[in-house]
Chains A and B, each alone.
Chain A
Amino acid sequence: MARHEVVTPVPGTFYRRPDPDSDPFVSDGDSVSAGDVIGLVEIMKNFQDVEAEVDGTLVEFLVENEDAVQAGQAVAVIET
């Protein structure tokens, strides 16, 4: 079991859902595939997808919905 950190390439505001009325993209314990969207970062009114880079189980988020994030910051952990 290896722990893989998902990082956001851009700074901004992190969202776990596509819009306020929808379910989260993924929940703790869900299995994910490389390329799956696990969150969004809003940067200057643009939205950038944050994608899983590996297949595995998303074990935890390291930031809360609507938290401010820095470029390169780890936002979630996938166990492979």
Chain B
Amino acid sequence: MRVLVANRGEIAVRVIRACRDVGFESVAVYTDADAGAPHVRLADHAVGLGGPRAYLDSDAILAAADGCDAVHPGYGFLAENAAFARAVEDAGLTFVGPKPEHIELMGDKAAARKAAADAGVPVVPGSEGAVSDVEAAVAAAEQYPVAVKAAAGGGGRGIRIAAGEAELRKAFDAAAREAQGAFGDPRVYVERFVERARHIEVQVFGDVALGERECSLQRRRQKVVEEAPAPTYDASDLCAAAASLAGSIGYRGAGTLEFLVDDSTGEHFFIEMNTRIQVEHPVTELVTGVDLVAAQLTGELPAFETRGCALELRLNAEDPSNQFMPSPGKVSSVVWPAGPWVRVDTWLEPGVEVPPFYDSLLGKLIVWGPDRPTCLARARRALREFSIDGIKTTAPMLARLLDEEWFIRGEFHTTTLEEWLA
């Protein structure tokens, strides 16, 4: 079995290692900017693609896959591109991921919402799709506050919050105008606004839930720290809901269902499903003992039991002392932590040039402990061993975070990290 790894960075290294573990051959692809990257050296074969954007060039990647049996897309780039998945299958290769129609289904917000509702999984209460006028918006708002969101929007842009009906009437026109200006599409929809929300997601494989990950600590909607199990929250209902939704569509392989948990009422709402392996998958691997990437490759999920706590810290090439400015460049030296209960997934080694063209993720430090306090103590010990010269990283911010009282107590929401950094 020969697998083309259609990605770069730490996830390419991760997939190549899993290939080796299960006895498959691996083929790396690389752009000119990544010619010296470790994934190129670690794979059994490597194919150059050219310019910096070539990881998005599905034709070039399919050509590189000539002679392969399967394509693993990693995350990002083409991982959730249904047309690419279909092209891989049409070329007679296995796409290591879900069926293309499930990528399509979950990529369509309205269709995903309907699939959840059909499976009896709660979604954030609100209008079914875009509302036609302000009266329809008021009718859809059954409980305040509500958010008025641009139908064509994303990433938090074009959202207005209304505390009551009068505010909603005012916000509606403004939101529609803003949506037209920002996205060229005035359609808006209305949904309940959860003020104190936790972002908790469930890892599934087929219709089996492998437990939750707490991912509320985010900056600009990018996760910074993830852990399992979720502190101070019983996620068993969430896991059951995730398994039933994945099962209801006949989902194949690894996927993640993201939920919003209202901290004041305890209600949970399905937000979206990511139809791929995720950055934070090692958190689940450490508490279950399951190699999720190997399971993707073989299609077989081993029996597992959940044990202890795991925490993942993302190290990014950003300068926390200067508004998180991206910090590409040459890494003259780097020392990664090691020792008991510590795992590092990275592509960074001394002498590597971090290109400006890609995501700023340098590596992930993942730590296991029998309980949360032990896990945090090991994380502090491990992070102290990390050192790097040549570029700035988020390590100093993570070190401060690990000592914060609210973090130690496990009391935080999706806005806590940004408020703390402000």
Interface, chain A (partner B; CB < 8 A): 10-13, 42-46, 66, 68
Task: Look across to chain A and name the residue whose beta carbon is closest to the beta carbon of B317.
Answer: A44
Q: Are the C-beta atoms of B357 and A68 separated by less than 8 Å?
A: yes
Q: Are the C-beta atoms of B326 and A46 separated by less than 8 Å?
A: yes
The distance from the CB of B421 to the nearest CB of chain A, in whole angstroms, is 16
- With A11-B328, A13-B52 given, name 5 new contacts (CB 8 A): A43-B326, A44-B358, A44-B359, A66-B53, A68-B33
Interface, chain B (partner A; CB < 8 A): 33, 51-53, 317-318, 326, 328, 356-360
Contact residues in A for B52 (Cβ distance below 8 Å): 13, 68
Q: Tally the A-B contacts, defined by beta carbons under 8 Å.
A: 32
Q: Are the C-beta atoms of A10 and B326 separated by less than 8 Å?
A: yes
Q: Are the C-beta atoms of A12 and B53 separated by less than 8 Å?
A: no
Task: Look across to chain A and name the residue whose beta carbon is closest to the beta carbon of B33.
Answer: A68
Contact residues in A for B318 (Cβ distance below 8 Å): 44
Contact residues in B for A42 (Cβ distance below 8 Å): 357
Instruction: Give CA–CA (A13, B317) in the complex, Å.
Output: 17
Q: Are the C-beta atoms of A43 and B328 separated by less than 8 Å?
A: yes
Q: Are the C-beta atoms of B356 and A45 separated by less than 8 Å?
A: no
Instruction: Give CA–CA (A13, B326) in the complex, Å.
Output: 13
Task: Look across to chain B and name the residue whose beta carbon is closest to the beta carbon of A48.
Answer: B326
Contact residues in B for A10 (Cβ distance below 8 Å): 326, 356
Q: Are the C-beta atoms of B53 and A44 separated by less than 8 Å?
A: no
The distance from the CB of A68 to the nearest CB of chain B, in whole angstroms, is 6
Does more than half of chain B's interface fall in helix, strand or loop, or is it mixed?
loop
The distance from the CB of B152 to the nearest CB of chain A, in whole angstroms, is 12
Q: Are the C-beta atoms of B53 and A45 separated by less than 8 Å?
A: no
Instruction: Give CA–CA (A10, B319) in the complex, Å.
Output: 14
Q: Are the C-beta atoms of B358 and A13 separated by less than 8 Å?
A: no
The distance from the CB of A71 to the nearest CB of chain B, in whole angstroms, is 8
Contact residues in A for B317 (Cβ distance below 8 Å): 44
Q: Are the C-beta atoms of B356 and A11 separated by less than 8 Å?
A: yes
Contact residues in A for B358 (Cβ distance below 8 Å): 44-45
Instruction: Give CA–CA (A66, B357) in the complex, Å.
Output: 11
The distance from the CB of B155 to the nearest CB of chain A, in whole angstroms, is 11
Instruction: Give CA–CA (A45, B360) in the complex, Å.
Output: 8
The distance from the CB of A9 to the nearest CB of chain B, in whole angstroms, is 10
The distance from the CB of A17 to the nearest CB of chain B, in whole angstroms, is 14
Instruction: Give CA–CA (A43, B52) in the complex, Å.
Output: 12
Q: Give me the 8 closest cross-chain CB pairs, A-B, nearest first.
A: A44-B326, A12-B356, A44-B360, A11-B356, A43-B356, A43-B326, A46-B326, A68-B52
Instruction: Give CA–CA (A11, B317) in the complex, Å.
Output: 14
Instruction: Give CA–CA (A10, B16) in the complex, Å.
Output: 32
Other-chain residue from B33, B51, B328 in contact with A44 (beta carbon distance below 8 A): B328
Instruction: Give CA–CA (A13, B278) in the complex, Å.
Output: 26
The distance from the CB of A57 to the nearest CB of chain B, in whole angstroms, is 29
Pairs A–B under 8 Å by Cβ, sample size 30: A10-B356, A11-B328, A11-B356, A12-B356, A12-B357, A13-B52, A13-B53, A13-B356, A13-B357, A42-B357, A43-B326, A43-B328, A44-B317, A44-B318, A44-B326, A44-B328, A44-B356, A44-B357, A44-B358, A44-B359, A44-B360, A45-B358, A45-B359, A45-B360, A46-B326, A66-B53, A68-B33, A68-B51, A68-B52, A68-B357
The distance from the CB of B325 to the nearest CB of chain A, in whole angstroms, is 8
Interface centre among B318, B328, B359 (most CB of A within 10 A): B328
Task: Look across to chain B and name the residue whose beta carbon is closest to the beta carbon of A13.
Answer: B357
Task: Look across to chain A and name the residue whose beta carbon is closest to the beta carbon of B324.
Answer: A46
Instruction: Give CA–CA (A43, B358) in the complex, Å.
Output: 7
The distance from the CB of A23 to the nearest CB of chain B, in whole angstroms, is 13
Contact residues in B for A11 (Cβ distance below 8 Å): 328, 356
Instruction: Give CA–CA (A42, B56) in the complex, Å.
Output: 16
Instruction: Give CA–CA (A68, B360) in the complex, Å.
Output: 17
Task: Look across to chain A and name the residue whose beta carbon is closest to the beta carbon of B359.
Answer: A45
Contact residues in A for B328 (Cβ distance below 8 Å): 11, 43-44
